[in-house]
Structure 1
């Protein structure tokens, strides 16, 4: 397992691909648009921290694609750049990805960051290749309360994401108030020939790659609506949008939704 000593202060670069607004909305009728699991109505979010320059990462990259195929999981890959010095620059790494991972390390009192690392619903971290441990963590995450995010299309270029009033569901106001609302623009599967570094000579497949990340605002626990500019994301080449609601201070994920950008009416 590869690891890097030291914890740095977190900072997330803002992308300019999305138009978003937090608007109050009337509370939805009980059960409207919600999955059957009342306690955990949204999929579990698995974040994989990986690198094209990491020779232990390919099995984790394969596992992430398998996890994302499940209905009860959203799997996304954050490529980091701190292994670029080994001879290969990761073509998918964002400047904001390693700071996000280090912020998790600080919140979870880790003394280092590493790849491949899977963070499950913001609750714990695991070797990204350890399917058994990740499966157990997904099952454990389902015991934690989350909120249902309802997504609707407004034409082809706008997506509304409705957040319920926290008091109407099982997540209390202590977690909801000050929760960060994140939007990730995500690519599907890509194959990359690696010319140098630890994976030199291999052509590796990556999936669900985070290519943009923006903090849209904070949730105050009241019913609200976020509007996403899907047209701008598609124009930038993105295939999916993933919305995450995260408890303050890099806490657990209390809501998540994945939207395929080719699922718009008329697509």
Structure 2
């Protein structure tokens, strides 16, 4: 996984409805962003992986799986794991004041963490954040125009906030046969396993337009875009808006 920068262009956007499970995946404002930190070497993770698969199949969540590498010593090297995914989890830990990270850990909207295998805790966290005004309040829309993928962000209501436009690439859905370790003998199907994170630009609270090369997006398995606050120390913080980019053949 690498961190790179794309160019950003300024402009405007349209707002989109917040509740729309059946709406266009690229235009609906999601109910929440679920970032699951998981490992093929963790015996507690398969139920969380299955739950994430359910959420990833819906249009009203942005669900991403970050496979970490710190359980590799147990006898099986996670085929989807990376030190960058582990670093993102530790970054959340520091920003939230967590003494230690764990798997399966689900981070909701970059704000709070819960047990990633608990459906009730994840849904409860999403509902509570939306009730308290900490949901995904900034709408993003995605459109393909010629050789570009254009992302438009609406302006913020109230206090202006700065955020990074973060592009998160992930693998196509794939089954993995785990041969050793705590899950030896299992075949687990993984959804939206993150392979790369790129910062594509800055958002300053006003309506803005960002452009990505369609060729870069289309050669990946899938892609999510996040408007995420980042601390001066580079730690990930609250996610203000999000959208999925679907490849034409997916």
What TM-score, normalized by structure 2, do the two folds share?
A: 0.87
Match among 17, 38, 52 for residue 40 of structure 2: 52
Match among 196, 201, 225 for residue 243 of structure 1: 225
Post-superposition Cα deviations, 1:129-154, rounded to whole Å, max 9, x if no partner, equal: 01101010111222325100111111
Q: Does 1:192 align with 2:176?
A: yes
Q: Secondary structure at the match of 2:48?
A: helix
Flag structure 2 segments of 5+ consecutive residues without an equivalent: 20-27
Flag structure 1 segments of 5+ consecutive residues without an equivalent: 1-11
Match among 138, 145, 148 for residue 147 of structure 1: 138
Post-superposition Cα deviations, 1:202-250, rounded to whole Å, max 9, x if no partner, equal: 1111111111111223222222211122312333xx2321000112322
Post-superposition Cα deviations, 1:20-52, rounded to whole Å, max 9, x if no partner, equal: 322111x34xxx351155xx9444100000001
- 2: distance between equivalents of 1:36 and 1:204? 32
Verify the 8 A CA contact 1:49 1:77 in the aligned structure 2.
yes
Verify the 8 A CA contact 1:20 1:229 in the aligned structure 2.
no
Match among 199, 202, 216 for residue 215 of structure 1: 199
1:255 corresponding residue in structure 2 = 241
Matches within 5 A, 1:40-189: 41-143=29-131, 144=134, 146-155=137-146, 157-166=147-156, 169=157, 172-173=159-160, 176-177=161-162, 179-189=163-173
Q: Secondary structure at the match of 1:137?
A: helix
2:3 corresponding residue in structure 1 = 14
Equivalent residues, number: 235
Verify the 8 A CA contact 1:13 1:95 in the aligned structure 2.
no
- 2: distance between equivalents of 1:87 and 1:110? 27
For the aligned residues, what is the CA RMSD? 2.1
Q: Secondary structure at the match of 2:82?
A: coil
Q: Secondary structure at the match of 1:252?
A: strand
Verify the 8 A CA contact 1:42 1:147 in the aligned structure 2.
no
Verify the 8 A CA contact 1:43 1:71 in the aligned structure 2.
no
- 2: distance between equivalents of 1:129 and 1:205? 15
